[in-house]
């Protein structure tokens, strides 16, 4: 699980907006540019080439 202190300072590398933790705790989501970044072994992988688009419907 990503600690709240870390989550408070993380920003999307694409748009520099705040990211939020997904409900299942497996992703960091940027609602501004519509991508999510995986969390592997409690480590956020904040690389744009590892991001996945999200469905904004």
The predicted structure's pLDDT at residue 57: 45
The predicted structure's pLDDT at residue 54: 81
Say if CB 34 and CB 56 are below 8 A apart. yes
Q: What is the pLDDT of residues 11-42, one digit of tens each?
A: 999 999 999 999 999 999 999 999 999 999 99
Burial of 42 (C-beta count, 10 Å sphere; 0-12/13-18/19+): exposed
Whole-structure pTM value? 0.86
Say if CB 39 and CB 46 are below 8 A apart. no
The predicted structure's pLDDT at residue 1: 78
* In this structure, CATH architecture of domain 4-53: Single Sheet (2.20)
The predicted structure's pLDDT at residue 49: 93
36's CB contacts (< 8 A; 6+ apart) are: 22, 27, 28, 29, 30, 51, 52, 54
CA distance 32 to 9: 16
């Amino acid at each position: 699980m990503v600690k709240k202190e870390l989550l408070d300072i993380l920003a999307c590398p694409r748009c520099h907006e705040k990211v939020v933790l997904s409900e299942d705790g497996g992703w960091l989501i940027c609602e501004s540019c519509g991508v999510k970044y995986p969390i592997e072994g409690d480590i956020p992988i904040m690389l744009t080439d590892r991001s996945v688009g999200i469905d904004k419907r």
